[in-house]
Structure 1
């Protein structure tokens, strides 16, 4: 009996000596959606995409008008001449179509690269935040369900959202200040 009490006392004292782990969670999607860097990138690419769409629509209109003109003209020609004219028309427009596709792919790749940068900065910020605030773990809540439930007291989404935007805005202000100083010189 003494051994059981003694071992229980040792076990309790060992358990109480262990360091308490600090754990919290964040809603990844909410923070990323409110991250000003992401919003700025989306706005920039929305503007570029709108310009590209206008240009593509303008080219498509010219293409349609020329297509109608050629169709009227070649309808009076022999089948062989019709085929030759159609091929010539297609060959004329093929480089334009390829250029438009290539430009769209480049814009998509640039957007993906910048969004990857957003995720990288987000991960770095959360890691630094966790270290600075003594967290053992910061779990991410998302649609996949990595955290299905957590008590509200452990949800640090708002603090991280506020902090990451403040960090982004202060870097933005520093960049503008250094650009202004270089311009003045």
Structure 2
């Protein structure tokens, strides 16, 4: 009786193992080729370009003002020159603070959008796995979470195609 029980348990365990459907995704390829990520990067790049134009314009205008001061300072009374110098210094600090704040806002917005996109991708993969009968979908990355996988178990292209199709429906 014990032998039959052990055999049944072993058989059930073997069948259960054979029913597991496991695949992996090249995580960096999936994210880098995902259209939403490309769109986020393009939108952020527009903001970065506008920021850089503004920064360069403010810097150039301040440089001209500082050069004018350098030419006029020797002709001014010491107290007036010191007062104007202090005003220029304060203006420089305000410009730097404003630019730094704008740069941080762009970085925060970029990070927020990327975090939201990663959550969307994870949720999509979870649903994809359920719909396609996967027990596990592993993520391969540079750190080596999947050191080897048979190519037929790599579903990156299939998931990317479905993910991009889902994203295209949002437009």
1:148 aligns with 2:147: yes
Q: Structure 1 13/93 Cα, relative in aligned 2: closer, same or farther at 3 Å?
A: closer
1:165 aligns with 2:170: no
Q: With structure 2 as the length reference, what TM-score do the two structures score? A: 0.88
Q: Report how far residue 105 of structure 1 moved.
A: 1.1
Q: How far apart are the structure 1 equivalents of 2:148 and 2:74? A: 69
Question: Which stretch of the first structure deviates more once superposed, 126-135 or 94-103?
Answer: 94-103
Task: Give SS of 2:149's match.
Answer: coil
Q: How far apart are the structure 1 equivalents of 2:134 and 2:58? A: 56
1:111 aligns with 2:130: no
**What is the aligned partner in structure 2 of residue 48 from structure 1?**
47
1:24 aligns with 2:23: yes
Q: With structure 1 as the length reference, what TM-score do the two structures score? A: 0.82
Q: Report how far residue 82 of structure 1 moved.
A: 4.1
Q: Give per-residue Cα distances to partners, 1:28-50, cap 9 Å, x unaligned.
A: 10010011111011111111211
Q: Report how far residue 117 of structure 1 moved.
A: 1.0
Q: Give per-residue Cα distances to partners, 1:33-75, cap 9 Å, x unaligned.
A: 0111110111111112111111110111111111111112113
1:86 aligns with 2:95: no
5+ residue gaps, structure 1, are: 173-185
